[in-house]
Amino acid sequence: MPFNQAKRSNISHGRAPTFLLPLLLFFTCVAPPLSVTSAADNDRPNVVVVMADDLGYGDIGCYGAKGLKTPNIDRMASEGCRFTSGYCSASTCTPTRYSFLTGTYAFRFPNTGIAPPNSPALIPAGTTTTASILQDAGYKTAVIGKWHLGLGEKNEGPDWNGDLKPGPLEIGFDHCILLPTTNDRVPQVYVNDHNVENLDPADPLWVGNKKPSEDHPTGITHRDTLKMDWSHGHNSTIHNGISRIGFYTGGHAARFRDEDLSDRWVAESKRWIAENKDEPFFLFFASHDLHVPRVVHERFQGSTELGPRGDAIAELDWCVGELMKSLEENGLTEKTMLVFCSDNGPVLDDGYKDDANEKLGDHDPNGPYQGGKYTVYEGGTRTPFITRMPGTIPVGVSDEMVCTIDFAASLAAMVGQELPNDACLDSQNVLGALMNQSGASGREHLVQQDNGKVGNYGYRVGDWKLVRHDQKKSYNFDLSMTRKAVPRFALYNLQSDPAEQNDLSDSEPERAKQMQQELQKLLDAGRSR
């Protein structure tokens, strides 16, 4: 058992706890699994998950932001539950998104680090996912926004000029409008279900890792033409005055303007919500804000004191407000569990010169925590996390530990779907905690990772946190993107030392040793559920 473990959750896997019965009777009955043809299907709650990108714990007003305002997200928190120990499972985007959908720690599988532009689908067709669980329960499902989990067959990758599958539609989504990778990587096109939208067959799209021709413009050869300069790495193909990672040619009619990303996704989401308002639905709104390049719509440019990074937070807040407005207009506010979270912690200079450091002022993106994106310190994975469902989720602040990896098991319990034994291997049913129900417990323990399988982990049990760096190096620990030498293991008490400054390994040798052993057992076991 975990050393000095937290109180065990009284929510059993796949079944509703007794204290949730009044709530779940409002939804309909939890067990046995609900029939997709049930007359009461439209009484079950909708689920909308808004996942921000590179948003830190301290980047939102209600979490202590300075130099900017987030009235819509703050309103959501004031009408719901704001978590102080809400986590994503990894400090980079691809593994967090993988774990959110599969309910399994990404480090258990190869090639789940940051996906390159031509990555094949990282989640095989037919895999049980958060989306497929709800789809099997009769929900309409959609993902709109940043994907970054690969498209196409294994060893082949995406067929940009043909059918892009397998992809979201093969793992439980009915519909998708995607940014296929991430916007600092090529190509700048939308994927609508299985195809690149507006692609002209006479102008085929090519995506590759090598410069296609000597005269192909890049951020190096045509740097003086850029409207946003690069600082490191992002200096290949130029589109919309911004150079990216990777190369592409063609597909000109399909290319989008960076400034319009959020507007397009909000419009598509509002349309999809209105079309599906009469039946239960699951919408994964995968925002690109605040990921680089931070190029927001003109109406948000200069709207904060923090430069493009702060402006991206303002744009993100607008997106949340528009989604809440859409739920209100369709009479769905009290029937929808709205979730706000992030895929990892903050980063400042992540490849472009956009004044993220210069205009930071006294704003602290990671709040009281150390580290951010790319780290296994708390700032890398502890992020804003809010749930709202007026009349069902009590208003308040919760210290319970919850994680984005837990939505698979928790939502399965909510709709009465049994999880297969060989699926969602690390997802815990923390539905009661997500619903802020009195007496409900969150996770007992959590394994945090950075990117891929490089041997860096965080292991939290209650107030105690073990940090393991197999390479004995840390990156972006102070948001400066510098590296420092660190011991392989360090032990912290998060209650007295939330910034992880005082290594207690020498004064707590027994605890340190046992937590090292527990972490290794969790890594070796292949599952924790």
CATH number of the domain at 76, please.
3.40.720.10
Question: Closest Cα partner for 387 from 426, 342, 338?
Answer: 338
Q: What is the pLDDT of residue 36?
A: 32
Q: Which residues in the chain come in under a pLDDT of 50?
A: 1-39
CA distances from 209 to 164, 236, 292 (A): 19, 9, 20
Mark 381-399 as b/e (b = at least 16 C-beta within 10 Å). bbbbbbbbbeebbeeeebe
For 267, counting Cβ atoms within 10 Å of its Cβ (0-12 exposed, 13-18 middle, 19+ buried), the class is: middle
Q: What is the pLDDT of residue 345?
A: 97
Does 525 reside within a domain?
no
Is 388 within 8 Å of 338 (Cβ atoms)? yes
Q: How many domains does the chain have?
A: 1
pTM, full prediction: 0.92
- CA dist 77 and 221 (Å) reads 47
Cis peptide before 32 (omega within 30 of 0): yes
Task: DSSP letter for 288, please.
Answer: -
Q: What 3-state class would DSSP assign to 459?
A: strand
Is 60 within 8 Å of 384 (Cβ atoms)? yes
Does 309 reside within a domain?
yes
Does 1 reside within a domain?
no
* Phi, psi values for residue 189, rounded to 5°: -140, 160
Q: What is the pLDDT of residue 43?
A: 77
Instruction: Look up the domain containing 268 and give its range.
Output: 46-206+255-443
Hey, how many other C-beta atoms are within 10 angstroms of the C-beta on 439? 10
Does 151 reside within a domain?
yes
Q: What is the pLDDT of residue 33?
A: 35
Does 248 reside within a domain?
no
Q: What 3-state class would DSSP assign to 66?
A: coil
Is 147 within 8 Å of 286 (Cβ atoms)? yes
- CA dist 190 and 198 (Å) reads 9
